[in-house]
Amino acid sequence: MATDDTPATVAICFTQGHNEKLVIEQVQHEGLVDMLFRSGYRLGKIETWVSWQKLCDYQVLVIGSPQEGLLEESEIKAIIEFVNSGGSLFLISDEGGDAKARSNLNEVAKHFGFTFTPGIIVDTVDYSEKQEYVRPRITARHFITREVAQIVFASGCDIEIQDESLTVLAASGPNAMRNPWKDGEWGEAEPAPDRPLIIVKRHGQGKVVACGNFSIITSISKTYGLFAADNFTLVGNIFAWLANKKAEDVSSKSDVVHMNIAVEDDLFYWMEGEIKDKQRFESVNALVNFA
């Protein structure tokens, strides 16, 4: 799994053994899967328990909002060791956090200095269509926020930070409120300005990204999902940063990075022909760098 160099083909693993919302075969994730395939990533999944042996085949692990599914202690230890040894981790929660989902994703998150809060962020001023579809502030210049001016964060939770070395990429606005999830129902709204919504961290030899919103990776609605505002660019940058072992947090012109590029179908099939049929180039990377 972990080497000093980024492999030619980065393998991304999705956990599927804890009733995760993120199931790559579902229609709502066609946009995400298409993005990742076109970017040259190899996708896989773990449908049972997570182990070190299974993780060794991957460079990036995604845990997409488990619902009424608990990670075992041995699985959590394997995930922590995966990151310590150079793997990248993407944790995704959603409204209500663990309390509403009846999961224990925070048992993983707390080892990296943060937890997802049991609530939902709304905004009475800066929102898109509904007050739950908030438009956060981009708060840091980072590889992941390149060319990202505005995102939509719909029906998500905020993040409590315990480790000050974490970097907050997106935060709630000055008029944001949080409705807490308590005793099986939503409570009274309370002020929640400047709350972390998306964070990143380097940990050991690896990297961690956490997002309190699941819908940002779905492609059912253009109002709040993958294709809303600059969400597509943000998500593409997240995977590019996680996939690149050598990518700096703030990229420079000399960096060699994996990046998501949207191309027309005709161009995509021409590139495929140049590589597979005519064998003029070894990979998309070689073709792009030649151009």
Q: At what angle do helices 231-243 and 30-38 cross, to 10 degrees?
A: 50
Flag the least confident range among 4-8, 143-147, 183-187.
4-8
Report pLDDT for 3: 46
pLDDT level of residue 183 (50, 70, 90 thresholds): very high
pLDDT tens string 146-169: 999 999 999 999 999 999 999 999
Domain range for 267 is 261-291
Q: Are residues 204 and 290 both part of a single domain?
A: no
Count the helix, strand and coil residues of the chain and give each as a percent rounded to the nearest 5. Answer: 25, 25, 45
What percent of the chain is modeled with pLDDT above 90?
79
pLDDT tens string 242-274: 999 766 677 554 444 555 555 556 666 666 666
Q: Is 21 domain-assigned?
A: yes
Q: Is 1 domain-assigned?
A: no
In this prediction the pTM is 0.85
Q: What is the CATH number of the domain that holds 236?
A: 3.40.50.880
CA distance 119 to 95: 6
- Above 50 in pLDDT, residue 2? no
pLDDT level of residue 25 (50, 70, 90 thresholds): very high
* 88-92/60-64 β-pairing: parallel
Distance between first and last Cα of the chain: 31
Q: Are residues 234 and 266 both part of a single domain?
A: no
Closest CA to 72 of 114, 12, 18: 18
CA distance 234 to 112: 22
Is there a contact between 1 and 58 (Cβ–Cβ < 8 Å)? yes
Q: Is 4 domain-assigned?
A: no
Average pLDDT of span 218-241: 96
pLDDT level of residue 282 (50, 70, 90 thresholds): low
Q: Are residues 71 and 208 both part of a single domain?
A: yes
Half-sphere exposure in the Cβ direction for 251 (13 Å, CA):
19
Element (H, E) at 101: helix 97-101
Q: Is 5 domain-assigned?
A: no
Closest CA to 1 of 90, 101, 83: 83
Report pLDDT for 249: 72
What distance separates the 2 farthest-apart alpha carbons in the chain? 63
Is there a contact between 244 and 24 (Cβ–Cβ < 8 Å)? no
Average pLDDT of span 80-109: 98
**Considering its fold, how many domains does the chain have in total?**
2
> Which residue reads 């961690």 in tokens?
208
- Above 60 in pLDDT, residue 64? yes
